[in-house]
């Protein structure tokens, strides 16, 4: 869909109406592959964060067990004695592997939980732009500090805080580059997902190789450089970012108060929370690709290709590639199917995603049935990732789009934070569902996942029209 006129001008008499993007002129509104110029700088910031974060995620437990927790190293980490004492008080005696595993779980869990607080602070006080700058600078400092062993725990704490300020406000600004009826928003979040996966795919090749071949410090330095480039991207594009709602000024130059909730906002919030809950369930289902699937595939998938045994870990690389390919195709399809001046039925798009998810787990079910007598063909395992990864943009990307477009201006960043809390809950659900694999056949286990996805699909198909109506505010409040 082409959008050349820019969003409608905000009414200066209405202090709660979100201001338009910074540059409504058609040249800048379509300067980045048909999108606003600011989108490119925001995607650069996201790719930098993904490069740094997923690099650390891949190396964290290995670094801790092989180096940091060894005698002669752990003693120099500031606060490590107290930290180990707290962990052992909570979980009992822990080996070095146990400490590393618990640290991994706590750090990654808090990184996904804190964005709701960062979003709330941005909504009420800082504004999205200042919160993002604060988050980026904190993250650059954190990734520099992690290079030194002594400041390891300080660095992790700063990463949690910095990501809390960054993630929801980055998503919020992507959404606010577009007018409410502009369907380019969903395609923009598709490009965001591609930038995220591109950063996460590059970092093992660069940071991981440097860390394992030359030394951990070189790998961490590469991550810090990636994070610095992400921060530089955002700062370079500062003037192309949408103005903060809470910081916007009226035509008279008086400061506007932070926007407040209006009639109809409550039901919009309820629908958004419901969609986030469904997305959390989807996260819990799909993340079995990294939990139970590798264990099953190790012994029950035929991984030989022309005499070469395909490593199970390669499925993770396949996941990233298929997510990028699936998102690119979805973005292209949405552009082709959406006529100018119209807005697609997003609930229907989410239904497509859960249809693909159901099919993906049915493929694994059939593979498990075959594997019961022998080994499942490698093609079925690959097809599972194709279908599952193709579902991601139809579910995750569309739900993020709806939050950024439909959430009340007073709570946009906060509700995007709720989305990340949903991701954290989904990760917990993955573990809870995975535990059931000890008490049921693997065929029943995968079929259960297909059934859960199918139930959500039927629910959305039956209630989609009503949910869409609930998202429509009265004209005076929209």
For 34-81, how does the pLDDT look when each residue is reduced to its tens digit (9 = 90+)? Answer: 899 999 999 999 999 999 998 888 788 888 888 999 999 999 999 999
- Phi and psi angles of residue 255, each rounded to the nearest 5 degrees, phi first: -65, 140
- Phi and psi angles of residue 161, each rounded to the nearest 5 degrees, phi first: -65, -45
Q: Can you read off the two tokens belonging to residue 83? A: 């930290």
Residue 213 neighbours by CB distance under 10 Å: 9
Do 409 and 265 touch, CB atoms closer than 8 A? no
Tell me the C-alpha distance between 120 and 113, whole Å.
Answer: 12
pLDDT band (50, 70, 90) for residue 339: low
Do 63 and 216 touch, CB atoms closer than 8 A? yes
Q: Which residues contact 158 (CB under 8 A, 6 or more apart)?
A: 138, 139, 141, 142, 145
Tell me the C-alpha distance between 348 and 359, whole Å.
Answer: 17
Q: Is the model's pLDDT at 453 over the cut of 70?
A: yes
Q: Which residues contact 261 (CB under 8 A, 6 or more apart)?
A: 408, 410, 411
Tell me the C-alpha distance between 16 and 38, whole Å.
Answer: 23
Q: Is the model's pLDDT at 478 over the cut of 70?
A: no
CATH of the structural domain 26-247, one choice from 3.40.1160.10, 3.90.1200.10, 1.20.1250.20, 3.20.20.140 = 1.20.1250.20
- Phi and psi angles of residue 237, each rounded to the nearest 5 degrees, phi first: -100, 20
Q: Which is more confident, 253 or 202?
A: 202
**154, 296, 428 from 291: Cα distances, Å:** 29, 9, 11
Q: Which is more confident, 393 or 249?
A: 393
Question: Nearest-5° angle of CA 86, CA 88, CA 90?
Answer: 70
Nearest to 387 by CA among 357, 362, 410, 416: 357
Tell me the C-alpha distance between 365 and 449, whole Å.
Answer: 9
pLDDT at 252: 39
CATH code of 259-478, in short, is 1.20.1250.20
Q: Which residues contact 314 (CB under 8 A, 6 or more apart)?
A: none
Q: What is the 3-state secondary structure (H, E, C) of 361-376?
A: HHHHHHHHHHHHHCCE
Q: Can you read off the two tokens belonging to residue 412? A: 């946009």
Q: Is the model's pLDDT at 17 over the cut of 50?
A: no
Per-residue pLDDT of 174-202, as tens digits, reads 988 998 778 788 889 999 999 998 998 88
Q: Which is more confident, 93 or 233?
A: 233
Nearest to 258 by CA among 271, 273, 244, 243: 244
Nearest to 69 by CA among 93, 97, 104, 49: 97
pLDDT band (50, 70, 90) for residue 12: very low
Out of 99-113, 179-193, 318-332, which region has the weakest mean confidence (pLDDT)? 99-113
Per-residue pLDDT of 384-427, as tens digits, reads 999 999 999 999 999 998 998 888 887 888 888 899 899 888 88
CATH 1.20.1250.20 residue ranges for the chain: 26-247, 259-478
Enter the pTM of the model.
0.76
The crossing angle, in degrees rounded to 10, of helices 80-91 and 96-113 is 90
**Residue 408, CB-side half-sphere exposure with 13 Å CA sphere:** 24
Nearest to 288 by CA among 135, 477, 448, 474: 448
pLDDT at 382: 94
Most confident of the following: 55-59, 93-97, 239-243, 271-275: 271-275
Q: Which is more confident, 456 or 27?
A: 456
Q: Which residues contact 147 (CB under 8 A, 6 or more apart)?
A: 217, 220, 221, 224
Residue with structure tokens 């594009």?
237
Tell me the C-alpha distance between 159 and 142, whole Å.
Answer: 6
Q: Is the model's pLDDT at 248 over the cut of 70?
A: no
**51, 164, 168, 387 from 135: Cα distances, Å:** 16, 7, 11, 35
CA 55 to chain centre: 15
**What share of the chain has pLDDT > 70, as a percent?**
87
Give the three-state DSSP class for 439. coil
Rounded average pLDDT over 286-292: 85
Average pLDDT along the chain: 85
pLDDT at 249: 42
Do 234 and 132 touch, CB atoms closer than 8 A? yes
Do 33 and 190 touch, CB atoms closer than 8 A? no
């Amino acid at each position: 869909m082409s959008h050349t006129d820019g969003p409608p001008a905000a009414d200066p008499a209405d202090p709660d109406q979100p201001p338009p993007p910074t540059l409504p002129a058609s040249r800048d509104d379509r300067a980045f592959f048909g999108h606003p110029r600011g989108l490119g700088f925001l995607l650069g910031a996201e790719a930098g964060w993904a490069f740094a974060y997923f690099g650390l995620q891949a190396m964290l437990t290995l670094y801790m067990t092989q180096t940091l927790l060894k005698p002669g190293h752990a003693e120099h980490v500031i606060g490590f004695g107290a930290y180990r004492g707290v962990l052992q008080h909570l979980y009992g005696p822990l080996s070095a592997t146990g400490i590393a595993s618990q640290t991994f779980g706590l750090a990654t869990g808090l990184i996904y939980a804190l964005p709701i607080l960062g979003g709330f602070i941005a909504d009420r006080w800082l504004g999205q732009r200042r919160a993002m700058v604060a988050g980026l600078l904190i993250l650059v400092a954190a990734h520099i500090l992690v290079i030194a062993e002594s400041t390891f725990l300080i660095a992790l704490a700063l990463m949690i805080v910095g990501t809390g300020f960054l993630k929801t406000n980055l998503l919020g600004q992507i959404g606010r580059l577009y007018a409410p009826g502009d369907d380019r928003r969903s395609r923009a979040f598709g490009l965001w997902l591609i930038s995220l996966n591109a950063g996460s795919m590059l970092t093992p090749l660069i940071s991981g190789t440097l860390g394992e071949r030359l030394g951990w410090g070189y790998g961490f330095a590469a991550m810090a450089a990636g994070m610095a480039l992400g921060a530089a991207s955002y700062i370079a594009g500062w003037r192309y970012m949408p103005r903060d709602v809470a910081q916007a000024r009226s035509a008279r130059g008086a400061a506007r108060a932070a926007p407040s909730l209006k009639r109809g906002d409550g039901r919009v919030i309820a629908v958004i929370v419901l969609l986030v809950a469904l997305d959390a369930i989807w996260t819990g289902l799909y993340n079995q690709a990294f939990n139970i699937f590798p264990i099953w595939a190790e012994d029950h998938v035929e991984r030989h290709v022309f005499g070469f045994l395909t490593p199970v870990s390669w499925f993770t690389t396949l996941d990233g590639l298929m997510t990028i390919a699936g998102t690119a195709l979805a973005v292209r399809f949405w552009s082709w199917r959406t006529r100018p001046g119209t807005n697609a039925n997003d609930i229907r798009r989410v239904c497509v995603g859960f249809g693909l998810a159901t099919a993906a787990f049915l493929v694994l079910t059939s593979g498990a049935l075959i594997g019961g007598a022998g080994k499942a063909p490698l093609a079925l395992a690959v097809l599972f990732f194709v279908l599952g990864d193709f579902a991601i943009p139809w579910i995750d990307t569309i739900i993020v789009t709806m939050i950024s477009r439909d959430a009340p201006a007073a709570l946009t960043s906060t509700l995007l934070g709720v989305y990340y809390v949903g991701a954290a809950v989904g990760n917990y659900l993955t573990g809870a569902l995975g535990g059931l694999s000890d008490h049921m056949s693997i065929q029943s286990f995968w079929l259960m996942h297909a059934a859960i996805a199918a139930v959500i699909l039927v629910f959305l198909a039956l209630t989609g029209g009503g949910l869409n109506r609930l998202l429509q505010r009265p004209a005076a409040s929209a």
